[in-house]
Amino acid sequence: MKDVRAVQSRKKDARDVIGAGGELHQVAGGSHPQMTTNQGVAIGDDENSLRSGQRGPTLLEDGSLIEKLNHFNHERIPERVVHARGAAAHGYFELTASLADVSNAAIFKNVGERTPLFTRFSTVAGNMGSADTARDVRGFAVKFYTKEGNWDLVGNNMPVFFIQDAIKFPDLIHAAKQEPDRGFPQAQTAHDTFWDWASLSPESTHMLMWIMSDRAIPRAFRMMEGFGVHTFRLVNDAGKSTYVKFHWRPKLGTQSIIWDEALKISGSDPDFHRRDLWNAIDMGDFPEWELAVQLFDDAFAESFDFDVLDSTKLIPEETIPLRVVGRMVLDRNPDNYFAETEQVAFCTTHVVPGIDFTNDPLLQGRNQSYQDTQIIRLGGPNFAQLPINQPKCPMRNFQRDGHMQMGIPKGRVSYSPSSLSETTERADPLNGFTSFPATESGDKLRVRSATFADHYSQARQFFFSQTEPEQNHIVSAFVFELSKVATEAVRLTMLGRLANVDMGVAQRVADGLGYEGPIPKASAMVATRTDLAASPMLSILAQFKPTLKGRLVGCLVADGTDPAVVTALVAEAKKHGAQVKVIAPKVGGAKGSDGGTIPADFQLAGGSSVLFDTVVVALSEAGAATLVKEAAAVAFVHDAFAHLKVIGYTAGAQALLDKAGVLADAGVVAMGKPSPYLTAASKGRIWAREPTVRAVY
């Protein structure tokens, strides 16, 4: 492995750029003006924070880092720069297995104890008015109101991230956001600036595999996993440190939608995820997750194939199995969206005794950035006094005044130490928070540790851990995104990155783009490993277990439908934990074959099949003859088939199925009693149908 400082010392011309892993790559064009700070000081390295040693902590004296992050944090008011579009709920965490052996945090000691919490889910790139189903990372942030103070576990629905060092975060978001000269496109990365940045940031390759996978288009917030991303520390009563990675696992299982469906949901219901979360809680169907941890020590960290401080890497669950320690239940919707969901302020520095940080350079930068962000977004330093942010244990200190001070501090003493009052606050050396006394040493350098330099091996492992349909979706997503990139050189550079993952994958993407030339591999500091075992736990479909719990069944009716079919379907679906929603040509419902009215939940134009997990077409011959002339009805059935959903149908509906191009397969089920149909629907999408309805690159 090459020494990073040696690589950094190489002479380079004006077109050369040192990549995040130390490799040298070319940027088209002539000479470039010198980058400086806002004070006009030339910047020598804009990709590595200043730290003590290659794997040491980031230093507060790094003025370039502080300036860059501070300016980025203050770019927008009052909307969040990232994670602007969110939904949240109140609930509780219940400890089910003690962690007292590895942590002295009170929240991890007493089995059965419940801790109140507030959880916010969000997209990352889109503005507040964007659609829920954009291809994006999803934020998964939990504020625990523990007896020892607030603990914020600020994570995502993916266990890795695009960058290794926080100094690159503003660049990532600037590249992904709408292009500044034109203000579009937003809530998507399918444009030149993002892929230009990504193609020149090889460390992002692993995360690109995740973001192009089905993980980026979840079915619902309550059906997605969550991750703390970073390696943290737990510290026990004896002062012993244990490394930890946090995982949230949804009780309903992990489920995603497919890309064409995501696009159509954005038009049918841009609030799809937010509505789903609200409705589930409102009905008493409370979403639930298990909290699990991966625990390991220094010996494992030293022997593991990758650096545990690198946020672009993960530890497969087959290597360190998850230890389930508790459950989160969300059981109450917010009373006011602005006061709670918008004003909640998460900070990675909000930890309690027994939970501590590591030298992960992305985490170190987040620790600085979040507090500053909340100050500008919420108007001042007193944001902790807002009800949603207040701890549920006493809060006492000598911080005074400031914008929007809501308390009335009493007494003449507002400093420490003091002797003029017997009731002033004092530090508590015995019970107060103390950092783990890790030994740190090393030169002050702007350098990326050589242990961070393998950017492709885990990306390859992720791809080959997916089932065939999931692999096809990743390739298709790359084709779609890169086809939106107008600059051919960017597309070719990205193909070179993919070639380092696997030449076969790169060639499939190239074929989808219509590129016929050779694909030159990009330079790499570390050769891609091909010996990493597949990890089935990284695949959604490999983990899938048949269920209809929490799912929606859409039942299309029209005049002449037999109401007994609908009644039986509703009753049987309820036994499976599913809900049935009725769609009719008119919102007032349809006239049943018995002369009565079948109530409707949706009018046909507003109840497209993309809103449901599976559908039933319950029509008489006369009803079908009417609906074959209605484009919305034909699209309802056609989309359900194209989106690989199980379709139940009555004999009278055949004309509409024929008009919609439905072909017989295991997912097209004749409706007698509803049980066979619901059993088929519980098994999920009909993946064998996919090659017959869309191109597979």
d(CA 111, CA 582): 44
Name the CATH superfamily, with its identifier, for domain 456-542: Catalase, four-helical domain (1.20.1370.20)
pLDDT surpassing 60 at residue 669: yes
d(CA 186, CA 135): 11
**Residue 76's pLDDT is what?**
61
List Cβ neighbours of 14 (8 Å cut-off, separation of 6 or more).
30, 31, 32
Q: What six digits make up the tokens of 384?
A: 């902790």
- Residue 150, judged by CB atoms within 10 A of its CB (0-12, 13-18, 19+), counts as buried
d(CA 661, CA 592): 27
Tell me which residues are annotated as active site: 83, 156
Least confident of 386-395, 481-490, 594-603, 669-678: 386-395
List Cβ neighbours of 222 (8 Å cut-off, separation of 6 or more).
250, 252, 276, 277, 280, 287, 330, 550
The torsion of the CA quartet 422, 426, 429, 434, rounded to 10 degrees, works out to: 170
**Residue 424's pLDDT is what?**
84
Residue with tokens 């620790």: 367
395-400 mean pLDDT: 84
Instruction: Indicate the domain borders of the chain.
Output: 70-385, 456-542, 549-693
Residue with tokens 């076969």: 504
Instruction: Return left, alpha or beta for 262; rule: phi > 0 is left, psi -120 to 50 is alpha, else beta.
Output: alpha
List Cβ neighbours of 62 (8 Å cut-off, separation of 6 or more).
49, 50
Angle at 290 between CA 613 and CA 208, to 5 degrees: 65
Domain 549-693: assigned CATH number: 3.40.50.880
Q: What six digits make up the tokens of 495?
A: 């193909």
d(CA 35, CA 22): 19
**Residue 563's pLDDT is what?**
97
**Residue 404's pLDDT is what?**
83
455 contacts 522 by C-beta, under 8 angstroms = no
**Residue 31's pLDDT is what?**
75
**Residue 47's pLDDT is what?**
86
d(CA 195, CA 198): 5
pLDDT tens for 474-506 read: 999 999 999 999 999 999 999 999 999 999 999
Q: What is the CA radius of gyration of the chain?
A: 27
C-alpha 229, offset from chain centre: 10
654 contacts 668 by C-beta, under 8 angstroms = no
DSSP bridge pairs for 306: none
Q: Among 420, 246, 412, 252, which residue's Cα sits nearest to residue 329?
A: 252
The torsion of the CA quartet 683, 684, 687, 690, rounded to 10 degrees, works out to: 140
**Residue 30's pLDDT is what?**
57
Reply yes or no: is the peptide bond before residue 287 cis, omega within 30 of 0: no
pLDDT tens for 566-588 read: 999 999 999 999 999 999 999 99
Whole-number mean pLDDT of the chain?
93
Cα within 13 Å of Cα(475), Cβ side: 24
pLDDT tens for 65-121 read: 887 887 788 776 578 889 999 999 999 999 999 999 999 999 999 999 999 999 999
Give me the percent of the chain exceeding a pLDDT of 90. 81
CATH 2.40.180.10 matches 70-385? yes
d(CA 119, CA 52): 35
**Residue 34's pLDDT is what?**
76
pTM exceeds 0.75 for this model: yes
d(CA 601, CA 588): 9
**Residue 426's pLDDT is what?**
83
Q: What six digits make up the tokens of 345?
A: 């302020």
**H helix count then E strand count, the chain:** 20, 22
